[in-house]
A and B are shown apart, each in its own frame.
Chain A
Amino acid sequence: MDLVALSRWQFALTTIYHFFFVPLTLGLGIFVAVLETMYVRSGNPIYKRLTKFWGKLFLINYAMGVVTGIVMEFQFGMNWSDYSRFVGDIFGAPLAIEGLLAFFLESTFLGIWIFGWERISKKLHAAVMWLVAIGGNLSAYWILVANGFMQHPVGYEIVNGRAQMTSFGALLGNPRALYLFLHTIFAGLTTGAFFILGFSIYHLVRKHDAEAFQKTFRLAAAVGLVAVIGAGLSGHAQAVYLRQVQPMAAAAAEAHYQTADPADWSVIALFDKTGKKVIWDIKIPKAQSFLYYFKFSGEVEGIDNLQAQYEEMYGPGDYIPLVALDYWTFRVMVGVGMLMVLLALGAWFVAWKKFPEKWIRRSGWLVWIIFLPYIANTTGWILTETARQPWVVHGLMQTSDAISPNVTTGTVLTSLVGFVLIYAVLMGIDLFLLLKFAKAGLPAGDTDSVLMAGEKPETKKGGK
């Protein structure tokens, strides 16, 4: 494998891995803040126990998100130094501001939240959790501002072969970034909601603290339905915008080759070995125009026409991304999203019917719905990042020109193997801990300690 391929594999694997933890941090953080607010407002100790229960799972997940996030910041310089030189003027700023404005907030206040239960007032403690949740979601905005520039560069000029910022406002208001942000926030809430639904079902089936888990089930069903529909709508709006600013990416996601008006929509397709040619498909006439324009006419540019157009603009080359990958990741993401809408509706119905015993009894297998958002999140990012290829910054710099020229393949292979090994081990440990605490159910007392054999539990009566 050459240096570009190895660097791309490392970046892809470490980013996908990092993004296993991020959406749950974004979504679950808000749920924990809501639960703690309910505790403060109602004074009902059951909400405190719920806050601590979901909070502990939040923390286990959070730790993984933080440590894998540092890798992201280092990698641009380590593996993509020519990219960093080219866009540093623009790309570095949101990363630095993310740290200064969001990550400091999140990390510092999380420390207070974990250790401050008895040091600060209840209200302040709940406010601290809100700051943690807001900090996390603000982080996402800054990161997506940086990513938005790679998708759709705005507010810049090229000076001496480097991109220079000319308008910070344009960078912050980049519609591509705003759509990404909205979609990511909804995806985070969806991930949090399904995580809570899944583990609430686990305990409802076993009749552990049914009253408490009915509360979180109801909350997650309500938020989850709104969030997953929001993710769908924002995703659709994003796709409409994508067709305008990254038509090749949009065409690849639909395996749409010939510019047409009206354009047919491919429901299912099989590709040849190159992944760039369709060998068999089923199409619905005019449907693609309808998806983009909400009427049965309207031009949609195709891959082949865009390829010819790009060769004219940028010189000879292959400007077609791996169509099969984008086409299928898109379909998996949307398919899973629709399934989640149905499941969220079902959850609503169950809560509305007041959790009938005969249904709950047979719902144990539904714990697996926890994985659905992860599938959608991962395929969504693979689509976003690969449909942009061969560009690292759309129209400005190709991925193959972005690598660190002085880093050897042996070096990258070393770090790639190192990351894969340690990430695999940590995934095992993380899942083990998450499952252990998720299955254990609500904490009995007020202590956060996991006591060793022979250590006495707290004598003070706290909680229930």
Chain B
Amino acid sequence: MDLNILWFILIAVLYTGFFFLEGFDFGVGMLLPMISKKDVERRAIINTIGPHWDGNEVWLIVAGGATFAAFPHWYATLFSGFYLGMFLLLLALIVRGVALEFRSKIANPNWRFGWDWAIAVASFLASFLLGVVFTNLVRGVPIDASMQYTGKFTTLLNPVSLLGGLAVVFVFIFHGANFLSLKLSEGPRVKAFNAAVRNFPAALIFAVGLFAALYFTGSAFSDKGALTLVLPLLAAAALVLSRVLGSQKKEVWAFILSSAAVVFTVAAIFIALFPNVMISSTDAANNLTIYNASSSPYTLKVMSITAAIMVPIVLAYQVWTYWVFRKRVKADVTKLTY
């Protein structure tokens, strides 16, 4: 296996980690104003992700940085081509980040409820845009021979990518509700479970719809053989099983399975993409691949050594944070931080 393949896999892993971890953060954010009107319960909800969301978001930062370092042309074409989408994603991440940090700092109901809506809308926008971006990535966008995106912003808003946006939104909501069922206690825990039940049908329908659209309307999925068919089916099965086990109060399993659904989906997208990193809908000869978009072997080697040392360390201390905060969060005003 050459280093180009290794880095493609590593970047896929980073985005998968990001979707899995920030996925429930975004889901929790969207559910925040829906689940409860009581401030203390909302604070408990935010406190479930409080210690983790910032570290989770770094997965995106590192994925972006790794894309830049290992495949500069991928990074350059993607970010300049999807400019307005990226801009909106930035706005969403900015608003959400400060909202989480600022909302509980002032004891005024309007202030707090205003920020709660900001968290929800920003989490929705970020999730939706991520769905749009990744659907377009795997379906292909117009790219010319000099690796430049030649479409417009509206080119990115096609029926399939919009479906992709909705699928990500509802899967994240379901995934977030599972996380909350696992982390909250008493009343809020029940409310979180009910939210999972309510949002499950939409998550399943949009996810299956997206897989069908990707499989039948484009070539990336259908050309790749068994894996790109099996993984989406597994993802759908994991969603269903997650819902079933959630009803049996097996909350750990429900969460693990909705995580699996997210992981299988992102894995399928990257497998469908391989060995391309950006697919040109103009001409397949214009595709960016892991070879023509990559950095030099020397840079890839330097990066590989760094990653081999750092990734296990990062994983170890991130797992430790979840261990430290493994207890359920109680809606008790004096015990809440955010």
| In contact, B80 and A164 (Cβ under 8 angstroms) | no
- Taken together as a complex, chains A and B put the C-alpha atoms of A445 and B104 apart, in Å, by 17
B83 at the interface (CB under 8 A from A): yes
Q: Of A64, A78, A108, A168, which is within 8 A of B58 by CB?
A: A108
Complex interface bits, A175-216 against B, C-beta within 8 A gives 1, otherwise 0: 000000000000000000000000000000000000000000
List the 8 shortest-distance A-B pairs measured between CB atoms, nearest first: A88-B72, A77-B79, A92-B69, A96-B65, A92-B68, A63-B101, A99-B62, A81-B80
Residue of B nearest to A118 (CB): B335
Q: Which of the residues A62, A165, A405, A450 comes within 8 Å of B298, measured between beta carbons? A: A165
Tell me which of B68, B95, B306 has the highest count of chain A C-beta atoms within 10 A of its own C-beta.
Answer: B68
Contact A77 B307 (CB under 8 A): no
Interface size on B, residues (CB 8 A): 75
**CB <8 Å contact, A415 and B61:** no
Asked if residues A70 and B61 are in contact (CB atoms below 8 Å), the reply is yes
Interface check A159, CB cutoff 8 A: yes
Q: Which of A68, A74, A168 contacts B302 (CB 8 A)?
A: A168
A–B Cβ pairs within 8 angstroms, 12 of them = A69-B61, A77-B75, A81-B76, A89-B296, A92-B68, A99-B62, A111-B50, A111-B51, A114-B50, A165-B298, A433-B106, A448-B337
B94 contacts A422, C-beta separation under 8 Å: yes
Residues of A within 8 A of B87 (CB): 78, 414-415, 418
Question: Contact between B79 and A78 (Cβ–Cβ < 8 Å)?
Answer: yes
With both beta carbons as reference points, the residue of chain B lying nearest to A62 in the complex is identified as B101
Asked if B62 and A406 make an inter-chain contact with CB atoms under 8 angstroms apart, the answer reads no
With contacts defined as CB atoms under 8 Å apart, how many contacts are there between chain A and chain B in the complex?
245
Contact of A449 among B58, B67, B317, B337 (CB under 8 A): B337
Query: Is the Cβ of A422 less than 8 Å from the Cβ of B95?
Result: yes
**Contact, CB under 8 Å: A104 / B306:** no
Q: Which of A303-311, A380-388, A454-462 contacts the other chain? A: A454-462
Partner of B72 from A92, A101, A120 at Cβ < 8 Å: A92
Interface string of B54-74 (1 = CB under 8 A from A): 110110111011111110110
Does A264 sit within 8 A of B, measured CB to CB? no
Q: How far is the CB of B317 from the nearest CB of chain A, in Å?
A: 6
* Extra 19 A-B pairs, beta carbons < 8 Å, given A77-B86, A93-B299, A452-B333: A71-B94, A73-B68, A88-B68, A88-B69, A88-B75, A95-B65, A97-B306, A98-B65, A100-B314, A104-B314, A115-B51, A165-B295, A404-B80, A405-B148, A411-B153, A414-B84, A433-B105, A449-B336, A450-B104
Verify A111–B105 contact, CB threshold 8 A.
no
Closest to A96 in B: B65
Contact A59 B334 (CB under 8 A): no
Q: Are B78's CB and A73's CB within 8 A? A: no
- The 0/1 profile, CB within 8 Å of B marked 1, for residues 414-450 of chain A is 1100100010001001100100110000000001111
Q: Say whether A1 faces chain B, with CB atoms less than 8 Å apart.
A: no
For the complex, what is the distance from the CA of A48 to the CA of B31, rounded to whole Å? 35
Interface contact B80-A79, CB-CB below 8 Å: yes
Chain B residues contacting A60 (CB-CB under 8 Å) are 101-102, 105
A52 CB, min distance to chain B CBs, angstroms: 11
- C-alpha spacing A316/B63, complex, angstroms: 41
Hey, which chain A residues are within 8 Å of B147, CB to CB? 85
Which residues does chain A contribute within 8 Å of B89, judged by CB atoms? 74
CA–CA, A437 and B101, complex, Å: 14
Partner of A82 from the list B60, B62, B76, B84 (CB cut-off 8 Å) is B76
| Pair A415/B84 contact, Cβ less than 8 Å | yes
A388 to chain B, nearest CB (A): 21
Residue in A93, A164, A404 whose CB lies within 8 Å of B69: A93
Contacts A89-B296, A92-B65, A99-B58 given; does A67 touch B93 at CB 8 Å = yes
Q: Is the CB of A67 within 8 A of B94?
A: yes
Q: Does B310 lie at the interface of the complex (its beta carbon under 8 Å from any beta carbon of A)?
A: yes
Contact call B90/A70, Cβ cutoff below 8 A: yes
Q: Which of A114, A159, A168, A429 contacts B98 (CB 8 A)?
A: A429
Assess A110 versus B75: contact at CB under 8 Å? Given A89-B299, A96-B69.
no
The stretch that binds A, out of B163-171, B215-223, B277-285, B318-326, is: B318-326
Report chain B residues within 8 Å CB of A111.
50-55, 321
Contacts of A87 in B (CB 8 A): 72
User: Would you call B68 and A119 a contact (CB within 8 A)?
Assistant: no
Q: Which residues of A contact B69 (CB under 8 A)?
A: 88, 92-93, 95-97
Residue numbers in A under 8 Å from B325 (CB-CB): 115-116, 119
CB distance from A126 to the nearest CB of B (A): 15
- A164: nearest chain-B partner, CB-CB: B296
Q: Please give the distance in Å from B130's CB to the nearest CB on chain A.
A: 13
CA gap between A89 and B324 in the complex, in Å: 39
Q: Is the beta-carbon distance between A404 and B83 smaller than 8 angstroms? A: yes
**Contact between A100 and B72, CB atoms less than 8 A apart:** no
Q: Give the Cβ gap from A2 to chain B, nearest Cβ, in Å.
A: 17
User: Quick one: which of B80, B101, B105, B324 contacts A407, CB cutoff 8 A?
Assistant: B80
Q: How far is the CA of A81 from the CA of B83 in the complex (A)?
A: 11
Give the CA-CA distance A449 to B318 in the complex, in Å.
Answer: 25
Closest CB in chain A relative to B114 CB, distance in Å: 11
The answer on a CB contact under 8 Å between B318 and A108 is: yes
Q: Is the CB–CB distance between A166 and B68 below 8 Å? A: no
A436 to chain B minimum Cβ distance, whole angstroms, is: 8
A456-B332 Cα distance, complex, nearest whole Å: 10
Contacts of B84 in A (CB 8 A): 411, 414-415
From A85, A101, A103, B61 is in contact (CB under 8 Å) with A103
B333 touches A59 (CB 8 A): no
CA distance A95 to B58 in the complex (A): 12
